[in-house]
């Protein structure tokens, strides 16, 4: 498979959950609480793609397959895109586009605080994920983009805190273990 075909296939796979969500929403097939379904799906896909993005480097090193590197930027931007939709849906459904309501909620509910912090850290990474920013920032670009590990950990904490009210910690625990394994593999390969 050529790199271009692989890139197109991965792009399509990243777009499919969003397309599915749009079609099910248009057909009113999101269940009894469609707003909650949209919030959960976009949050879960953002976290999933964030973990896949983190996994590119170790898999490239394990498989000795440098062709994976160009996919990392696209995967990270898709993770950010799903995070944007997740935040926008939260802002719309929970607060009717009232910024003051979101700010007040961030002081009341820790999972909102952690989610906003995670998104705030993703924003500069998304804005600098282009060749011009890489040239302009030089080595600082690498340091900035290492924040992805903190973002992934914060996203897992956000997931844990959200699930705390439902006492369902299996998915957040799995995501956290994956982040720790990927972080450990980074430390291992740096040595």
What is the residue range of 103's domain? 3-190
How many residues appear in the chain? 191
Token code pair at residue 27 = 């057909």
Domain count, the chain: 1
**Residue whose structure tokens are 């996994």:** 55
Residue 36 half-sphere exposure toward CB, CA atoms < 13 A: 4
pTM for the predicted model, two decimal places: 0.93
Interval 57-110: pLDDT, tens = 888 777 777 777 778 899 999 999 999 999 999 999 999 999 999 999 999 999
Ramachandran area for residue 130 (φ above 0: left; ψ -120 to 50: alpha; else beta): beta
Task: pLDDT band for 138, please (50, 70, 90 cuts).
Answer: confident
């Amino acid at each position: 498979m050529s790199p271009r075909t692989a890139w197109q296939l991965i792009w399509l796979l990243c777009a499919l959950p969003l397309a599915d969500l749009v079609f099910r929403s248009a057909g009113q097939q999101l269940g009894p609480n469609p707003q909650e379904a949209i919030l959960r799906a976009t949050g879960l896909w953002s976290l999933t793609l964030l973990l896949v993005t983190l996994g590119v480097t170790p898999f490239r090193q394990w498989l000795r397959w440098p062709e994976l590197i160009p996919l990392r930027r696209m995967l990270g931007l898709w993770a950010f895109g799903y995070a944007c939709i997740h935040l926008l849906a939260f802002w719309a459904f929970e607060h009717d586009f009232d910024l003051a309501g979101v700010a007040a909620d961030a002081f009341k509910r820790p999972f909102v605080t952690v989610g906003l912090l995670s998104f705030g850290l993703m924003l500069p990474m998304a804005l600098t994920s282009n060749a011009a920013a890489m040239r302009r920032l030089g080595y600082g670009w690498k340091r900035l983009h290492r924040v992805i590990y903190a973002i992934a950990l914060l996203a897992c904490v956000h997931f844990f805190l959200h699930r705390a009210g439902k006492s369902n910690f299996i998915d957040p625990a799995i995501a956290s273990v994956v982040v720790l394994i990927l972080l450990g593999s980074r430390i291992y390969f740096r040595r």
